[in-house]
Structure 1
Amino acid sequence: MGAFLDKPKTEKHTAHGQGNSLRFGLSSMQGWRVEMEDAHTAVLGLPRGLRSWSFFAVYDGHAGSRVATYCSDHLLHHITSNTNFKGLSDSLVDEAEELEKGEELHEPDEPEVESVLKGIHSGFLQIDERMRSISEVRSGSDRSGSTAVAMMVSPRRLYFINCGDSRAVLSRAGAVHFSTEDHKPCNPREKERIQNAGGSVMIQRVNGSLAVSRALGDFDYKSVDGKGPTEQLVSPEPDVCALERDDADEFAVLACDGIWDVMSNEELCDFVRSRLLVCDDLVKVCNQVVDTCLYKGSRDNMSVVLVAFPSAPRVSAEAVLKETELDRLLEEKVEEIVNKHTGEGIPDLIYIMRLLSSESIPNLPPGGWLPSKRTVIEAIYNRLNPTIKDEDPDDVGMDSS
């Protein structure tokens, strides 16, 4: 069977929530991969007095799901309970207990940025060391690893955390304001560390095998004598960036490379922004992202977390009208194509999609373009041809323009 299925598994796992002046939605799909190796975390209200803080993360596993799943269950605990983070939170815990008793109504002071950064850094190194003691890892039966991209939200700041090639982006005032940097073996800083550890970068992979230069787990690449944890062929050290929150912050997106393989930062933010103008359901928006990436040709597991801030775009009557008009136009075009071929037999959906992709259709969702309307087109097609069964999505690949 190899690494891919004959048909994609398109069932989605979703979740949503709101609190701390945030809303979030998430969606994940196994897609064409034989196994689902992604995992995620979404927590509103952190322990140790940080009830006004939140944490979101996506983990993209490889060579199995064990490490990704473990991280989704335990990384936040390792961050908030390690010595660095615990030391900065002691006073906050006392104040939080007072809040719970109704003795205080004020928000505890926010910890120093440097302490938070140290706590996050220590948490990553600690969980990586802890996972070495997992029985399957010790025995060698599990050699999995995982990237991790996360965002910790405090009342004043956004902490973007990245280890690997999953990615997070922040949209502010209608444009991409920040994105994390992928950790790839060919990056000069990463390549230097790999070579200093006695390794090499071949075909853009660590020792010609692993496509990421930083990850949790992957202990086969972390056994070079005389080198510390952050000096190994593959490092568990995260890059962390603290940004002051701004009233113009709209939303943040965290996603695995199954999303980024087929959409750029700008394309994804433009697409999400356009969807928020016609739909206030964040899960539905995330589902549309995943579906669009599938139809754009992604062959990987796909996971996306969307976090909306108070200034996120809101549903616009004008945008909804344009969307309705677009769907009506697509319906007319599909009907026209079908009617033209009535005497020749009903054309298949693949043919219709290819014809539509060659036309100039106004008001397609930016970033998603025609693939993002594939589900709508399929519904129209099935209504016109109820006895026709659609072909595999693998045959519907098309460019985004």
Structure 2
Amino acid sequence: MCVPEAEQVGQEIENMDNNNNSSSSSSSNNNNNNKLESISEDKAVVERKQNLLNFVPSLRSGEWSDIGGREYMEDTHVCIGDLAKKFGINSYSDEVISFYGVFDGHDGKCAAQFVRDHLPRVIVEDADFPLELEKVVTRSFMETDAAFAKTCSLESALSSGTTALTAMVFGRSLLVANAGDCRAVLSRCGTAIEMSKDHRPCCTKERTRIESLGGYVADGYLNGQLGVTRALGDWHLEGMKGMGEKLGPLSAEPELKLVTLTKEDEFLIIGSDGIWDVFTSQNCIDFARKRLQEHNDVKLCCKQIVEEAIKRGATDNLTVVMVSFHMEPLAHVVVERGRVRRSISAEGLQNLRGLLDC
């Protein structure tokens, strides 16, 4: 059974206090008994709250990818258990920082591979790492993008683009950074919590940003060319990007989401957009939970997600990275579903009555 949120626990304590204050009309004996009972109940709530907040994640990760229905494989990914150790950097922190990423290339695989290989190093070599990770990650996305622009200017054959989604786990914190339409979904007691937003031209917020920078959306594509509104690379596409103050409508700046992990948080799925073409976020969490309950093997679960996506008719490259926050198998829970209201039009009702009268 899932532990209540910390805010809910606090509300429970407040409600208990109010209930106890309203029962002062009882006899002295009863008051003492009630007080003892109240103390016992409060202690149970506090213990549950501490159990929630004192959670220490035990990390396991797995990954799987497939070319899918494409002629070329342009997805790539990375899983680094200890970012500072990987690059021999003294982080001045006792906390291990783990790094995971999925990169979905387009017009070639060079940008995706470049970002996979360079972004983690740029992050750890930033002067503010690891003290100001949110600023560091945002800056590193932009710096990696600029570095790829220089590489392309020297060798035009490398010109391409890539979406990028990274997740960093340090202590009980999870920081997700996204530029593009890869997606990260957190399983919290079996409920899907989306940790990123898909950056597509149909998004009102993105469209407003695009138009303010001189871009436009045509037939669902950015400047009639790209199906995403944020990506690294694509410097070869005219009118998409600019340097310095003269920015273009295609942005490499990621959107960030930071959460504090609790015992309720089970695992994180990061997938390239080919996965989300055939899975909803909740459907993918449900599918993954069931498999993990069967075998508790994170890598095998990733493989099964990819295989299921192919069975469902996915035609894109497919990549899944999964990060589990527990060693033990997942508990069975009942996930509450939102009520779906159904209605029938007056015309439909009239037609139905006609059929029933026949």
- TM-score, normalised with respect to structure 1: 0.63
- Cα deviation per residue 1:176-234 (whole Å; 9 max; x = unaligned)? 13331000112122212222332210111111110000001011347579874794221
Note the 1:168-207 alignment, pairs <5 A.
Answer: 168-207=184-223
Partner of 1:306: 322
* Residue pair 2:241, 2:251 contacting (<8 A) in 1 also: no
Once the two structures are TM-superposed, the CA of residue 38 in structure 1 deviates from its matched residue by 0.6
Matched residue, 2:82:
45
Shift in Å, 1:238:
0.2
Does the CA contact (< 8 Å) of 1:185 and 1:201 recur in 2? yes
Matched AA of 2:195: S
Relative to 1, partners in 2 of residues 1:61 and 1:229: Cα closer, same or farther, differing over 3 Å? farther
Q: How does 1:255-270 map to 2 (within 5 A)?
A: 255-270=271-286
C-alpha distance in 1 between matches for 2:127 and 2:308? 43
Deviation at 1:313, TM superposition (A): 3.9
Q: Is the 8 A contact 2:145 2:233 kept in 1?
A: yes
Whether contact under 8 Å (2:164, 2:180) holds in the other structure is yes
Matched, 1:83 2:120: no
Structure 2: segments with no counterpart, 5+ residues: 1-55, 85-89, 333-358
- 1:32 maps to 2:49: no
> Where do residues 275-354 of structure 1 align in structure 2 (5 Å cutoff)?
275-310=291-326, 313-314=329-330
Counterpart pick for 1:123 among 140, 146, 161 = 140
Give the 3 Å change call, closer, same or farther, for CA 226–278 of structure 1 in structure 2: closer
Corresponding residue to 1:56 among 100, 110, 114: 100
Question: What letter matches 1:277 in structure 2?
Answer: Q
Report how far residue 71 of structure 1 moved.
1.0
Highest Rg: 1 or 2? 2
Q: Distance in 1 between matches of 2:145 and 2:274?
A: 24
Q: 1:140 to 1:81 in 2, by over 3 A?
A: same
**One-letter amino acid matched to 1:239:** E
What is the distance in 2 between the residues matched to 1:240 and 1:230? 23
| Structure 2 CA distance for partners of 1:286 and 1:230, relative to 1, 3 Å | farther
Q: Distance in 2 between matches of 1:263 and 1:55?
A: 24
- Once the two structures are TM-superposed, the CA of residue 116 in structure 1 deviates from its matched residue by 1.1
Structure 2 Cα separation of the partners of residues 79 and 27 of structure 1: 25
The question of 1:146 aligning with 2:162 is answered: yes
**Contact persistence 1:185–1:211 (CA under 8 A):** yes
The answer to whether the 8 Å contact 2:195/2:257 transfers is no
In 2, are the aligned partners of 1:36 and 1:65 still within 8 Å (CA)?
Answer: yes
Which residue type is aligned with residue 280 of structure 2?
A: S
Cα deviation code 1:231-253 (max 9, x no counterpart): 42210000011101111110000
**Alignment partner, residue 381 of structure 1:** none
Residues of 1 paired with 2:162 and 2:242: CA distance? 24
Name the CA shift for 1:168/1:196 in 2 (closer, same or farther; >3 Å). same
**Alignment check: 8 A CA contact 1:31 1:302 kept:** yes
Q: SS state of the match for residue 100, structure 2?
A: strand
User: 1:79 aligns to what SS in structure 2?
Assistant: helix
**Residues 241 and 248 of structure 2 are in contact (CA less than 8 Å); yes or no, is this contact kept in structure 1?**
no
Contact 1:43-1:56 at 8 Å conserved across structures = yes
Distance 1:231 1:168 in 2: 27
Q: Which amino acid aligns with 1:175?
A: T
Higher relative contact order (CA 8 A, sep 6+): 2
Whether contact under 8 Å (1:222, 1:232) holds in the other structure is no
Q: Give the Cα separation in 1 of the matches to 2:75 and 2:245.
A: 24
Q: Aligned match of 1:219 in 235, 238, 247?
A: 235
1:156, CA displacement in angstroms? 2.3
Q: What is the distance in 1 between the residues matched to 2:102 and 2:144? A: 16
Q: Which runs of 5+ in 1 are unaligned?
A: 1-18, 90-110, 317-401
In structure 2, the residue matched to 1:235 is 251
Whether the 8 Å CA contact 1:46–1:53 is kept in 2: the answer is yes
Amino acid at match of 1:282: V
Counterpart secondary structure, 1:54: strand
The letter for the 1-side match of 2:68 is G
User: Does structure 1 retain, via aligned residues, the 8 Å contact 2:57–2:172?
Assistant: no
Per the alignment, residue 384 of structure 1 pairs with: none
Percent sequence identity over aligned pairs: 36
TM-score, normalised via structure 2 length = 0.71
Does the 8 Å contact 1:222/1:235 carry over to 2?
no
Aligned residue type for 2:145: D
Q: CA RMSD in A?
A: 2.3
Q: What does residue range 58-77 of structure 1 map to in structure 2 within 5 Å?
A: 58-77=102-121
Deviations 1:25-83 (A, max 9, x none): 10000111111001101000121325611010000000000010111111111112123
**1:70, 1:225 → 2: CA distance?**
18
**Cα distance, 1:311 vs. partner?**
6.8
3-state SS in 2 of match to 1:141 = helix
- Residues 175, 259 of structure 2: 8 Å contact kept: yes
SS in 1 for 2:67: strand
